[in-house]
Amino acid sequence: MDDLIADFVAECREMLEALGGEIVAWESEPDDRARLDSIFRFVHTVKGNCGFFDFPRLESLSHAAEDALADVRAGRRHPDGQLVSAVLAIIDRIAEMVAAIEAGEEMPGGDDSALIHALAPGADGPAAPAVATAAEGHARPASAPRTIRLSVELLDRVMSTVSDMVLARNELARRLRESPTDVSVDGAFERLSAIIADMRDAITRTRMQRIENLFVGLPRMVRDLSAELGKQVLVDIEGGDVELDREMIEMIRDPLTHIIRNAVDHGIEKPADRLKAGKREIGILAVSARQSGNQILIDIHDDGRGIDGKKLVVKALDVGLLEKDDAAKLSHREQLALIFEAGLSTAKAVTSISGRGVGMDVVRSNVERIGGIVEVDSRVGEGTRMTLRVPLTLTIIPALTVSIDGQHFAIPRSAIEEIVRANGESVTLEHLGGAGVATIRGRRVPEVSLAKILGIETAIDPRDRTLIVLRPAGGDVYALSVDRIHDHEELVVKPAAPAVMATGLYAGTTLADDGSPILLFDPAGLAQVGGVKLEAQERSTRIAEGPAAVVSKATAVLLFRALDGSRRAVRLAVVDRIEEAPVSAVRQAAGQVRVQLGEAILPLAGATGAELGEGKVRLFRLNDGVHEIGYAFAEVIDFAAIDNDVIHADRPGEISGVSLIGGEPAELVDAHWLFANHVGAAARTSEQLVCRLPSDDPWMQNMLRPIVEAAGYRVVGDEHESNADLVIAAQGSEVPVDASNKTIWLRTEPEAAGKKDESIYRYDRAGLLMALKTANAGRGN
Amino acid sequence: MNELLLVVTIAGERVALPAAAVESVVELDTLIPVPRAAPHVAGLSALRSRVLTVIDCKRSLELGESDRSDGIREAAVVDFDGHHYALIVDLVEDVVEALSDATPVRAAMGAGWERVCGGMVDTETGPLLLVDVAALIAGTAEAKAA
């Protein structure tokens, strides 16, 4: 009974709070129907509840008010000032009484009949002053928010019960599938499922906490630190209302603290140094959190001295973390990433705050342990930005289930880059001294066998396994071979017992739909146990493999059958739409086959040498942004992606190359050539300049070649004998230097290595075009 | 009030577990192995929605492996340090009342028993070795090192 009364009190108070503004507004505008309605609802609710509880005074008060308001609502009575005052007086009295009930006190004394009487038409106003004092006395309790405190254990128990419920539901679902059931049973089951899903969502939300809890201590910490170090730091915190699983908040507390300590200690300079550097005396440390998909991004940005990547490299060379050859190839980002290596600290002296050489590596491993990533970006003299990316919740992780010798395991989906079959066309598996190396579309990655890591025998031939290319948090790729992959699932993951975690292989445990436990792998741990030399491997290959990685990004194409029956593919991006035109609209005009589509006349490709037959012709409308051409075809086969190597045609033409798409070869339509021939034919010079591109460099051939060709060059391979007007080569590659021609060097990194470096960043399109043009002009003279 | 003890048989020996630590006694049917884990970790099992880490007590005591050929084992479920463990034992006998506090055992025991020994307690059926659940879960020294 007490619980019910508490609920009643809470409900009344909530409504009174909501009514607070309404009452005042109603007083000034008694005709406002919406306000009248909400006040009516309140007294009505109070009346209803009072009948259930034994509160006769409350009941009579609310009943009287309800009657009067019902008359107003029915239009039998006009709300005049006197009625409004009378109703307000009653509401105040109700508030008083509710407060008394809540406090467990005696009902405030006084006779209610005067108040009730005042409601009657034509009655005198109530004793307003008395009401006013009463309301004042009880203003405090009415403002308390309606919340309760729950123990975390209780929440966890509810969470676990909900998980049980999900499992039970899944079990039931399976049983229902197995036996024929009534439609009505299915319907009821569906409803139950939906309710359980809702409930799971809701309970997951109860575990969320505002990240403010984590941020609230930061200003004080920074203040103390900067005072100790004789610095001036202003903390700017943003996004405290982002919500995060409370467990996750605890997990990132240490890494965040460490990063901030580092920023204050090493990043932000002393006021005098800052002034010298032309900055404000006060350093700014900005900490912000935001949600991005199912990740939370926490940025820690300081405007201090920044991290000098080159110094890091020198240091890494000193302590032997890095080989000299590799060091030269590091990109700016990779140089900075060295800060996360164990045993590396740029601090000149060890301080009590940070810089003991055990810091950032611990930060990274802590963040990665919870499935997060930590990134660093910095410019010398300008500042450093550290970004923590952590999953929203520890407990529910999208995962892929795989099996080995019949046992199921889960792999967090966030670490999975791609999945390929070991016997796929674009994959070769080799063994070098017992170590596996998988070459996937030209990219070499270390291959480790899950069976080997786990010490399980499996009957499945290595060729028939599936390779999962994993990039554990931090960015080191390797391929894991498993027997079979199963399902994508959202798993409720729980930490495993220390004895299980001690293996270093697992990130936690979870329960499958059938209630059996599944171990969730830690991709970084797998690599470590599997003996993949992560850091070193990654550094040396990422540079060399850069171009291949770009190419390997699957290109979406439209697979179709041409009029001559050949299987062809055209890049989806250039296809504007598919049209149909009567054959009569296709005619030879002005030296070309053209098709009339409505008002437009487009050059038509794909129709040469083929009978159009009768009736209609279907065509793609290709668009290069300026011009349009038509491309006739017989039928569309499918959408597909080029994920295999492209064998390039020897000569430029309508077909740029051949690739396996969907297991069968398909000719790739060279849209660039089409446009060049059908639209830009007139613009062509009779004598083309020759450009030599390394023919074994897929990036050059796929990405660069169209640009070079568009600039008016004829592209030849490096086996070509004749003199080229222009040579384009990757920086660092060996190209016979010929005095008579010009050479454009391309580098893979946006930043130039030095002032003397005249190379062009390979995605600097404007720079490239400029260089192509200058080379062209030089020849013209 | 005297402590209650759960009398179980491990490796043929009657020993006592503090009953307060034991949540329930279950029969395990499914057992999912944990590759690469310490040998005394027999695997994982599920009890309702909780994952149990199954500890083979015999292995933990370095007295050989429990016979799991019949597929069903009796186990005592304990909650230790926030994780649930199922301790596989040969047999769960009874709950008895301790008649004394635990006293040190002065006789020499096997190395495994020595490690998990939490003292000796008197019961109506004679003195019993009181097993330290934490030590049993921790397993052998090598397991800890691994």
pLDDT tens profile A692-718? 777 777 777 777 777 777 777 777 776
- Within this chain, do residues A386 and A252 fall inside the same structural domain, yes or no? yes
* Mean pLDDT, rounded, for A362-387: 83
Of B32, B85, B143, the CB nearest to A497: B85
Of A175, A206, A237, the residue that ends a domain is A206
In a domain, A292, yes or no: yes
- In this complex, how many residue pairs, one in chain A and one in chain B, have their CB atoms less than 8 Å apart? 78
Same domain, A179 and A255: no
Residues A547-570 have a mean pLDDT of 66
pLDDT for the residue numbered A368 = 76
pLDDT at A257: 87
Mark whether A651 and A727 lie in a shared domain: no
Q: How far is A164 from chain B (nearest CA, A)?
A: 5
- Dihedral, CA atoms, A48, A49, A53, A56, nearest 10 degrees? -60
Domain check: are A137 and A245 in the same one?
Answer: no
SS (H, E, C) A341-396: CCCCCCCCCCCCCCCCCCCHHHHHHHHHHCCCEEEEEEECCCEEEEEEEEECCCCE
Q: Check: CB of residue A604 under 8 Å from CB of residue A593.
A: yes
Q: Do the chains contact at B36 and A455, CB–CB below 8 Å? A: yes
Spatial separation of the C-alpha atoms in residues A490 and A479, rounded to whole Å: 23
What is the reported pLDDT for A739?
55
A582 Cβ contact list (under 8 Å, min separation 6): A615, A616, A617
End-to-end CA gap in chain B? 41
Q: Which of A543, A574, A592 is the last residue of a domain?
A: A543
Is A147 within a domain? no
Q: Which of A183-197, A310-324, A677-691 reaches the highest mean pLDDT? A: A183-197
What is the helix, strand, coil percentage profile of chain A, to 5?
40, 25, 30
Number of domains composing chain A: 6
Q: Where are the domains of chain B?
A: 4-141
pLDDT digits (tens, 9 = 90+) for A718-743: 666 666 777 887 777 766 655 556 77
Please list the ranges in chain B whose pLDDT falls under 70. 1, 48-49, 67-72, 141-146
| pLDDT in the model for residue A138 | 40
Give the residue with greater pLDDT, B141 vs A581. A581
Instruction: DSSP for B39-75, please give it.
Output: TTEEEEEEETTEEEEEEEHHHHTTS-PPP-TTS-EEE
Does some domain include residue A267? yes
3-state percent breakdown (helix, strand, coil) of chain B, nearest 5 = 15, 50, 35
DSSP annotation of A614 reads S
Copy the structure tokens of residue A386.
């550290």
Residues of B with CB under 8 A from a CB of A: 30, 32-38, 40-41, 44-46, 48-53, 55, 81, 83, 85, 137-139, 143-144, 146
Each residue's pLDDT tens digit, A494-539? 778 888 888 888 888 887 767 788 898 888 788 878 777 644 444 4
Structure confidence by residue, pLDDT tens digits, A398-454: 788 888 888 889 998 878 888 888 887 778 888 877 778 888 877 888 888 888 888
Residues of chain A with pLDDT > 90, as a percent, come to: 1
The two structure tokens encoding residue A681:
């034919």
Looking at the DSSP bridge assignments, the partners of residue A658 are A647, A667
pLDDT recorded at residue B86: 92
C-alpha A714/C-alpha A742 separation (Å) is 15
Half-sphere exposure of A412 (CA within 13 A, CB side): 29
Q: What does pTM read for this prediction?
A: 0.45
pLDDT single digits (tens) A82-137: 787 788 888 888 888 888 877 777 776 667 777 788 777 766 544 444 433 333 43
Residue A550 belongs to a domain: no
Q: Whose CA is closest to A501, among A519, A476, A475? A: A519
Element housing B81 (H / E) = none
Residues 112-171 of chain A whose Cβ lies under 8 A from any Cβ of chain B: 160-161, 163-164, 167
Lowest-confidence region among A644-648, A713-717, A751-755, A764-768: A751-755
How far is Cα A622 from Cα A573, in angstroms, rounded to an integer?
A: 9
CB within 8 Å: A503 and B49: no
pLDDT at A545 over 60: no
Q: Is A235 left (phi over 0), alpha (psi -120 to 50) or beta?
A: beta
Query: Of the segments A355-359, A479-483, A692-696, which one has the largest average pLDDT value?
Result: A479-483
| pLDDT value of position A123 | 61
Q: Does residue A549 form part of some domain?
A: no
A218 and A329 part of one domain = yes
φ, ψ (nearest 5 deg) of residue A108: -55, 140
Q: What is the pLDDT of residues A626-676, one digit of tens each?
A: 678 888 888 777 767 776 677 777 777 778 788 877 777 888 888 777 777
**Closest in B46, B81, B143 to A517, CB measured:** B46
Q: Looking at the predicted structure, is the pLDDT value of residue A67 above 80?
A: yes
**pLDDT at residue B67 in the model:** 67
Distance from CA of B53 to the nearest CA of A (A): 7
Q: Which residue has the tokens 């005592």?
A: B76
Q: Are residues A295 and A387 in the same domain?
A: yes
**If you search the block for the tokens 């399980």, which residue do you land on?**
A456
Domain CATH code at residue A84: 1.20.120.160
Domain boundary among A206, A226, A245: A206
Q: Are A562 and A635 in contact (CB under 8 A)?
A: no
Q: Does A502 touch chain B (CB under 8 A)?
A: yes
Q: Inter-chain contact A494–B46, Cβ cutoff 8 Å?
A: no
Tell whether A632 and A765 lie within a shared domain: no
b/e sequence B24-53, b meaning 16+ C-beta within 10 Å: ebbebeebbebbbbbebbbbbbbbebbbbb
What confidence score (pLDDT) does residue B85 get? 92
Alpha carbon distance A559, A567 (integer Å): 7
Q: Is the pLDDT of residue A576 over 70?
A: yes
Secondary structure of residue A55 in the 3-state scheme: coil
Q: Provide, as residue numbers in chain A, all residues whose Cβ is less than 8 Å from the Cβ of B44.
A: 500, 509, 517, 519
Same domain, A437 and A495: yes
Check pLDDT > 50 for residue A691.
yes
Strands A484-492 and A517-521: unpaired
Give the architecture-level CATH label for domain B4-141. Beta Barrel (2.40)
Q: Does A521 touch chain B (CB under 8 A)?
A: no
Same domain, A622 and A707: no
Question: Does the beta carbon of A506 lie under 8 angstroms from any beta carbon of chain B?
Answer: yes
CB burial of residue A740 (10 Å; 0-12, 13-18, 19+): exposed
Residue A86 lies in a domain: yes
Does residue A38 sit in the same domain as residue A112?
Answer: yes
Q: How confident is the model at residue A348 (pLDDT cuts 50, 70, 90)?
A: very low
Residues A384 and A460 in one domain: no
Considering the domain architecture, whether residues A224 and A358 belong to the same structural domain is answered as yes
- Most A CBs within 10 A among B34, B56, B57, hence the mutation to make, goes to B34
Alpha-carbon distance of A276 to A204, in angstroms, equals: 52
CATH number at residue A761: 3.40.50.2300
Tell me what the mean pLDDT of segment A593-620 comes to: 75
Domain range for A636: 555-681
Mapped onto helix, strand or coil, the DSSP state of residue A82 is helix
